[in-house]
Structure 1
């Protein structure tokens, strides 16, 4: 077991004192300051924490300037002044904290100040930078928040699975996409098949499909009304990705919707631009990526781990049956070349690729295919040619592991050329987890092109099963000081359903 740190000791004490208990309401209701000092409307967060860098995020209730007081190793303390925020940024702001010490605990007090220098409400975002030396660390991942009509239900304590993830005390959290469901309106109540009634907390922006920028922003604001999510985000850095539901179901660039609910705007490119702006505003992600408009990125986590966050939506081609003879885009040429190059350069023990779509799972979109697999177990075609090229390029790269969400069940898949139609690659694992608060489905059929073997699967008892049943899933990865990786798949309560231990190659 790794030596205890401030994170494990302090948070264990907090848990013992009961501070992780779910509040009665499980939500933070909107409020306004009467003092003239800025308030924090949606908690605080950190993200993309590396050995020497971190991003911190907060949102104010009025135009003001973000200020961070950084408490570092020992008694070090310094103040960093951030950007002015206003309606143009939905009152959100981020700060890039650079030149941090590796392997150290940080607490960052975030507040906003007015033009006349009055400091408002403060809250603390905590994180531990990655160690450059071999060191233990852990992370969790999942996807799919507030989908299929299942939103914040105060009766059961809100987003309970976020609390379960938080209680594992991870060093960071990977949200693999579908951070919101912009296309899934919520109703006040939903009667479940067993007769129980699910009650959703509502705000106007979640009662319709999102078309305007304000509606997309409201979807993100809604999720931050949950106490479990806010508590975790304040204490656990986020590595955020996006997928389809941040905009609309199964979208691709250039699509024009036929859905009559979209009565203001049916051009997906316009909707996606608004969705992406809102997503950027509400994620603790570097402004460096924001300027480039690039979501895919590499997060260096020290000697044992590099995390590669992908973007399988921005560069995606039209959904077809997937049997084209030519290579058709999912990641796109530039991104897939970047991924191959960075994997080859990485010297980390483990290279974890976080994909917002699965590899061998068949994900239909009507008569077409939404993901990479085309339901043809033969030689690679269409989007599969992109993966085939990548796997060939990284054949000699050790320690590659894939994680994903998207399909609303959890599973472990082993891919091997001995079972595959395409054989020019090295075996690897793919671990699937989710949803975290959405309808549970599955399991789906598998495509045999890359030789997957289903080692484990846990799915819904019936389609669109509500979160109340407990079939909400997340993955947990623990890396020991000597580089052994233990992956577990867990349910809403944190119960371990599956374990796989992977050892570094000699």
Structure 2
């Protein structure tokens, strides 16, 4: 009987044969020394308690992240076979207190289109000879030729009071995503809920009780750098999440709950807000430091640690990671008729970068990873938090940026653009068409919404008709219900498959148990 062989298994033999001594530049390699009696392991003294993560893969580069339990030197072992019969070891940075003992190695020179096995270990800086047990995983590097590609996306983790519940089985959606064997994962934001403390017990409508694992960092809102970091450590306590991020390269984004709900730069919190720190700029700076410490992400060096970036993945696919939080103006009534600081959403610099990146992309499919939706109305009291303003007329406010971008794509002949997002805590497929729109100078396109991955379920949201959206599919709570727990089953992720022969792109919206809810196949130029 044939065993169930994944695409990952099918690549291993070829990858192992292809492995040679030039997998990374020789100048960055230190051959691993043979263990001696003085190298005795002591996991009681030194460990890597949060596992390892891989992310921000671009071409032959990848980031490998881990965290030590104390001051230590990071070492990375690489191979293209599971037995590590041929391997190289890279001497990495020191994991010290100022980074909360996190460390990251940015590898270059990886073979393209191959399976890479990796192990991380730490050697103590206090006690020579003491080292941690290894942690690690595997990942695939981007191809150079057309081939089948699969990735998943989603957002919203440990929100609205729903934390890690061992009785429920932890964060099950991450295990379902892992089993689909994706090439990478777009984390669409709200990777933590720094403003969402947990209670030990939550009584459910059916009389049962949801039990949360509690830590000090999740017992109050985050004000300090230590508390923000503790929110990331909390998620890494979950076995499913930790195994997933060790095997599936992440493209991380951030949104509001990494800091606090609906935040924007220069905001001041009212006196009765539960945060001790009232300056949102200070909270955001601490949050960003924790985000960069704990996520496998490579900030740009040319634009003040900006995280918007492009990720080519072979001839068929390119992902454009946006940051819809750091450069926005304040939340307002969103009805301005002329562009200005109050209508900024991406900001001029990021918008110009996106136009240029889309123009220069040679990929068939261009995936815009947006941390917020375009046409869904997201309110902030009597103001608006996202792009839409509940006015179906001509573009106003933040819609002006989207108008400019869509018009540019049409004039430049940029096609096969698909928008992926999360944020609203339900699953949906939206088709945008100029024939239904108040503004019509754009080509039709699709926007797909997934999530939450492990948070409360809400929705559906109202649609704004300015850009002509149509709800083709929607899965949300029954009318009148909100903040449903993960145990109700309404947790969602998205899966995208690109066929290496036809270049057809198929989007599937799934529930937490990997059940397909909606599927849409798109052909190039056929949106």
Matched residue, 1:479: 498
Structure 1 gap segments, 5+ residues each:
11-32
In the other structure, the counterpart of 1:155 is 167
Task: Decide which of 427, 433, 436 is 2:450's aligned counterpart.
Answer: 433
The equivalent of 1:25 in structure 2 is: none
Which of 6, 10, 13 in structure 1 is aligned with 2:12?
A: 6
What secondary structure is seen at the aligned counterpart in 2 of 1:403? strand
- Residues 326-475 of structure 1: matches in 2 within 5 Å? 326-327=338-339, 328-395=343-410, 396-461=413-478, 462-475=481-494
Q: Which runs of 5+ in 2 are unaligned?
A: 1-6, 17-40
Please state if 1:48 is matched with 2:48.
no
The answer to whether the 8 A contact 1:209-1:261 is kept is no
What is the deviation of 1:117?
A: 4.9
CA deviation after TM superposition for structure 1 residue 259, in Å: 6.1
Distance 1:2 1:269, change over 3 A: closer
Q: Is the Cα contact below 8 Å between 1:37 and 1:113 reproduced in 2?
A: no
Correspondence for 1:103: 113
User: More displaced, 216-225 or 37-46?
Assistant: 37-46
Partner of 1:245: 257
Contact 2:8 2:115 (C-alpha < 8 Å) held by counterparts = no
1:280–1:290 Cα contact (<8 Å) kept: no
Quote the offset at 1:118 in angstroms. 3.5
Q: CA deviation at 1:200?
A: 0.3
Q: Does 1:145 align with 2:157?
A: yes
**RMSD (CA atoms):** 2.1
CA shift digits 1:408-434 (9 cap, x unpaired) = 000000001111011111110000000
How far apart in 1 are the matches of 2:498 and 2:61? 21
- Equivalent positions of 1:78-227 (< 5 A) are 78-115=88-125, 116-227=128-239
Question: Could you say if the C-alpha distance between residues 35 and 391 of structure 1 is closer, same or farther in structure 2, counting changes exceeding 3 Å?
Answer: closer
Alignment of structure 1 residues 279-298 onto 2, 5 Å: 279-286=291-298, 288=300, 292-298=304-310
Q: CA deviation at 1:275?
A: 0.4
CA offset digits 1:366-386 (Å, max 9, x no partner): 100000001101000010000
Looking at structure 2, the residues matched to 85 and 2 of structure 1 have their Cα atoms a distance apart, in angstroms, of 32
- Structure-2 change in CA distance of 1:287 and 1:77 (3 Å): farther
Once the 2 structures are TM-superposed, how far is the Cα of residue 264 of structure 1 from its aligned partner? 2.2
Cα distance in 1 between the residues matched to 2:95 and 2:44: 16
Cα 1:156–1:2 shift into 2, 3 Å? closer
Aligned length: 484
- Higher Cα radius of gyration: 2
Per the TM alignment, residue 127 of structure 1 is displaced from its structure 2 partner at its CA by: 0.5
TM-score (norm. length: structure 1)? 0.92
- Displacement of 1:120: 1.6
Work out whether 1:70 is the aligned partner of 2:89.
no
Is the alpha carbon distance of 1:52 and 1:316 closer, same or farther for their aligned partners in structure 2, counting shifts above 3 Å? same
How far did 1:50 drift?
2.9
- Taking structure 1 as reference, are residues 289 and 171 closer, same or farther at Cα in structure 2, changes over 3 Å only? farther
Q: Is the 8 A contact 2:221 2:275 kept in 1?
A: no
**Separation in 1 of the partners of 2:440 and 2:43?**
67
Structure-2 separation of matches of 1:7 and 1:218: 40
